[in-house]
A and B are shown apart, each in its own frame.
Chain A
Amino acid sequence: MKLTLNVWRQDGPGDSGRMVRYEMPDVNPDMSFLEMLDLLNEGLIEKGEEPVSFDHDCREGICGACGVMIDGRAHGPLPGTTTCQLHMRHYKDGDELTIEPWRSAAFPVVKDLVVDRAAFDRIIEAGGYVSVNTGSAPDANLTPVPKDVADNAFDAATCIGCGACVAQCPNGAAQLFTSAKVSHLGLLPQGQTERWRRVRHMVATMEDEAFGSCTNFTECEAACPKGISIDFIAQMNRDFVRARFRDPEADD
């Protein structure tokens, strides 16, 4: 099938960037979206034009590397789907697509469709862990975890850190990402010791980055390829307030 692409091209962080139009005369419906971009790039290279840079790695929807805005939606039109798992059969001959990078002050554009998501790593570094040195763990079955608690924690833990939540949010907020880790660890018995400190530190770091603030649009939940629920945001909000009122002066 034949497609027209409007792709964001930007040489680097200093460049202002622009949309460039490409005609794709022969796209196979069984291709994945990224394979369609591969095809575009092969053609560009053969013509002597620099290919479009885009992040990608596992191409099976788990590494979280890929992700572009397709016609104004993070990861494109299908729910629960990363860009790499979107296939061209969902488009029809003659369609015109607009492809842009995640746009967020916290995710500066590196080149073309590639952005820098290191802010997410910094949020995790601030407290998204259980402080257990290797070797000091007790036997794994010493602490039973009720199945429903474990399942709920798992639902939060499935976050792949792709950044679609930030990209889709009209405010560019990172609440869904942060709350997923806060809740994953905050729900489990292993995470209780550091629960209050963790939420304080992670939220503070999130707020120090250039993310916006949540106004409960619920766009993040809708765009999340792993279907992570905004219930975790509520949980983080609660924990954050509780953490402060439990120990107002804590500044560790």
Chain B
Amino acid sequence: MAWLVDFYRSPLAKKAVMAVTGVMLFGFVIGHMAGNAKMYLGAEVFNHYAEGLRTLGAPLLGHGQALWIARIGLLGAVLLHIWSAWQLTLLNRRARPTAYVRRDLINATYASRTMRWGGVIILLFVVYHLLHLTFGSVHPSFEQGNPYHNVVSGLQNPWVSAFYIVANLALAFHLYHGLWSMFQSLGWNHPSYKSARRIFASVFAVLVAAGNISFPLAVLAGIVK
């Protein structure tokens, strides 16, 4: 396994790690959004779904075990993703110690230029989101075992909803560049689907953002209550 550690020293390998962990996190984001969409089906279905997550893998796994495995996996992915990004960012800062007096970028998209700040916003949001709806420590009326209530009452606060919306816009930009970039970092550029990479990234960036932003909007509009 020493070679794997050695391999990870390479910035190119770190990019590959970012791509692979990015895919894992993307999978989570999609699943999370799909699951949350059940809130449109009412409190019972939603709470049943949430509880179902804990019994996932039964009877092979005990109560909540699958969820913890997923959580550990995701946490690992998040840490690797951030650590790689952090190290690469430091490397890139060192690579240009003197800034240009005048700078004019040609092709770089807004999304690609804001990956780092977007990532920070998403991270802050995730921390808040966990405190808010998983642990309930920053939720004014948290009810253990009643996620539907927690979501709806939480999002009825317009400030909280606004943060949700901003964070998901950041996520959309992050995905727009990240999903395309992932193909590049892993070297998946076969000519027959090369042009589809940008479409894939755009579609999913919009889909995830639209899905996630619909929840606070629906709560604020009173569609979900």
Residues of A within 8 A of B (CB): 6, 8, 19, 69, 71-73, 98, 100, 103-106, 168, 170-173, 203-204, 207, 210-219, 221-223, 230-231, 233-241, 244, 248-249
**Could you tell me if B106 and A215 are in contact, using CB atoms closer than 8 angstroms?**
no
B-side contacts of A239, CB under 8 Å: 187
**Could you tell me if B98 and A213 are in contact, using CB atoms closer than 8 angstroms?**
no
How far does the Cβ of B91 sit from chain A's closest Cβ, in whole Å?
Answer: 5
- A sample of 13 inter-chain contacts (CB < 8 A) reads A103-B98, A171-B95, A171-B96, A172-B95, A212-B92, A213-B12, A217-B107, A217-B113, A218-B107, A233-B184, A237-B185, A239-B187, A241-B12
**Could you tell me if A241 and B186 are in contact, using CB atoms closer than 8 angstroms?**
yes
**Could you tell me if A8 and B101 are in contact, using CB atoms closer than 8 angstroms?**
yes
In the complex, whether B117 has a CB less than 8 A from a CB of chain A is no
CA distance A238 to B182 in the complex (A): 12
CA distance A55 to B160 in the complex (A): 57
Partner of B10, one of A98, A204, A231, A235: A204
B-side contacts of A19, CB under 8 Å: 101
CA distance A73 to B103 in the complex (A): 7
B-side contacts of A204, CB under 8 Å: 10
CA distance A195 to B99 in the complex (A): 36
A-side contacts of B187, CB under 8 Å: 234-239, 241
Known: A234-B188, A236-B187. A71 touches B104 (CB 8 A): yes
B-side contacts of A168, CB under 8 Å: 106
Query: Looking across the interface, which residue of chain A has its beta carbon closest to that of B181?
Result: A216
Which of A170, A223, A235 has the most chain B CB within a 10 Å cutoff?
Answer: A170
Query: Looking across the interface, which residue of chain A has its beta carbon closest to that of B108?
Result: A217
**Could you tell me if A223 and B95 are in contact, using CB atoms closer than 8 angstroms?**
no
**Could you tell me if A218 and B108 are in contact, using CB atoms closer than 8 angstroms?**
yes
Query: Looking across the interface, which residue of chain B has its beta carbon closest to that of A72?
Result: B104
CA distance A232 to B126 in the complex (A): 36
In the complex, whether B177 has a CB less than 8 A from a CB of chain A is yes
Which of A6, A203, A238 has the most chain B CB within a 10 Å cutoff?
Answer: A238
Residues of B within 8 A of A (CB): 3-4, 7, 10-16, 88, 91-92, 94-108, 112-113, 115, 177, 180-181, 183-189, 194
Which of B7, B100, B189 has the most chain A CB within a 10 Å cutoff?
Answer: B100
Partner of B185, one of A72, A98, A216, A248: A216
How far does the Cβ of A202 sit from chain B's closest Cβ, in whole Å?
Answer: 11
How far does the Cβ of B82 sit from chain A's closest Cβ, in whole Å?
Answer: 15
Known: A213-B88, A217-B105. A237 touches B12 (CB 8 A): yes
A-side contacts of B103, CB under 8 Å: 72
How far does the Cβ of A226 sit from chain B's closest Cβ, in whole Å?
Answer: 15
Query: Looking across the interface, which residue of chain A has its beta carbon closest to that of B185?
Result: A237
**Could you tell me if A249 and B3 are in contact, using CB atoms closer than 8 angstroms?**
yes
**Could you tell me if B91 and A100 are in contact, using CB atoms closer than 8 angstroms?**
no
**Could you tell me if A103 and B189 are in contact, using CB atoms closer than 8 angstroms?**
no
A-side contacts of B194, CB under 8 Å: 231
Sorted nearest first, the 9 A-B pairs with minimum C-beta distance are A238-B187, A212-B95, A72-B104, A172-B95, A234-B189, A212-B92, A171-B92, A222-B106, A213-B11
Q: A104-B96, A231-B194 are in contact. List 10 more A-B contacts (CB 8 A).
A: A69-B102, A71-B102, A103-B100, A171-B95, A213-B92, A216-B184, A234-B188, A237-B15, A237-B186, A238-B189
